[in-house]
Amino acid sequence: MKVLKTESDLHQFFSGLRRGRKKIGFVPTMGALHDGHLALIRRCRSECAVTVVSIYVNPIQFDRREDFEIYPRDLEKDLALLKKEKVQGVFTPEDAVMYPPGFSTRVRVEGPLVQGLCAPHRPGHFEGVATVVARLLGLVRPHRLYLGWKDYQQYRVLERMVRDLALPVQVVGCPTVRESDGLACSSRNLRLTPEGRAAAAAIYRALKVGQSMIQLGETSPKVVLEKIREVLREEKDIKIQYVEAVDAETLSPKEALGPGTLLACAVLIDGVRLIDNIVVESGRPEEFFSEKGGKTP
Ligand code: AMP
């Protein structure tokens, strides 16, 4: 495994590999790696000859400076994990490599994809994400880009950016990896108190209740969203930021819910912001009622 810090490290790495016909897969991360990241990396490893992972805490995507400062960083541990996964290249740039003097470009996706969900609560966030990923793609030039559905809006925004700018990369979306009680894996989970961590299981439970209502034929957003809020409110430690039902492709609000609906929410627990979502497929709702937990959708 090679640790690459600069643009010229990347050039050397790829010329050493004689990139020619080899399929290169890329997994951008902010480090503090967990099972969710590892699932993306394993998928990439299974589909590509060369896997490159980046670890970079991108300052321009944080709407609050203190969030950026307290973001967990443990490079040693991450590198040990990546070595075990047999990743060939890890790109760990400093700020001056990502944003060298004179850097003046911003990439901004507009329209319904960034009108709801997290966008109004995190001004500038998706612009920061699109800008950093566009530059990372320019530096690494992968054939495939692996993104998690855990950050579903980010996935759709980046997919749109790739299409609109005709970037020569295939976007691969990967399912959300969850803890045994359903909570989506996230580096932020470590910041929860034991009580907060227990309460956090209600997020997925609430989304699953919404999903099964829709699968049973409920079409009213008002009814479904109110039920989800009700389940969340059963936990006094949960503060709801938003609960929304939108079209899973366009992210526009949906008037009648059905298959193809994305149910998504953001909550605050112990001051930690957690997001999650579920896409409603046409399925058999009985499966939900007989489920014993620990199963991913
Ligand atoms: P981050 O390090 O939070 O920027 O995430 C890097 C990538 O990992 C993004 O594409 C995320 O969507 C993805 N990711 C984070 N958590 C999970 C999870 N629990 N399951 C699947 N993918 C995830």
Q: State the pLDDT at residue 187.
A: 94
Q: State the pLDDT at residue 289.
A: 39
Q: State the pLDDT at residue 9.
A: 98
34 Cα nearest atom in ligand 1: 16
186 Cα nearest atom in ligand 1: 16
Q: Which residues of the chain have pLDDT under 70?
A: 282-297
Left, alpha or beta for 163 (phi > 0: left; psi -120 to 50: alpha)? alpha
For the Cβ of 118 lying below 6 angstroms from any atom of ligand 1, the answer is no
Query: Catalytic site residue 37?
Result: yes
For the Cβ of 184 lying below 6 angstroms from any atom of ligand 1, the answer is yes
Tokens in use for 84? 């075990």
Tokens in use for 113? 């994809």
The predicted model scores a pTM of: 0.94
Q: Whose alpha carbon is nearest atom 11 of ligand 1?
A: 148
Residues 85, 38 contacting (CB under 8 angstroms): yes
Considering 34, 37, 121, 143, which one is annotated as catalytic? 37
Q: State the pLDDT at residue 210.
A: 98
Q: State the pLDDT at residue 256.
A: 97
Helix (H) or strand (E) holding 87: none
pLDDT one-digit tens code per residue, 56-69: 999 999 999 999 99
> How far is it, in rounded angstroms, from Cα 72 to Cα 54?
15
Q: Whose alpha carbon is nearest atom 15 of ligand 1?
A: 36
For the Cβ of 122 lying below 6 angstroms from any atom of ligand 1, the answer is no
DSSP states of 225-267: HHHHHHHHHTSTTEEEEEEEEEETTT--B-SS--TTEEEEEEE
User: Ligand 1 centre from 65 Cα, in Å?
Assistant: 21
Q: State the pLDDT at residue 44.
A: 98
Q: State the pLDDT at residue 283.
A: 54
Q: Cα dist. 65→58, 59, 123, 191, 204 in Å?
A: 11, 8, 13, 17, 29
Q: State the pLDDT at residue 34.
A: 98
Q: Which of 151, 155, 187, 276 to mutate to test the pocket of ligand 1 (most atoms within 8 A of CB)?
A: 151
147 Cα nearest atom in ligand 1: 10
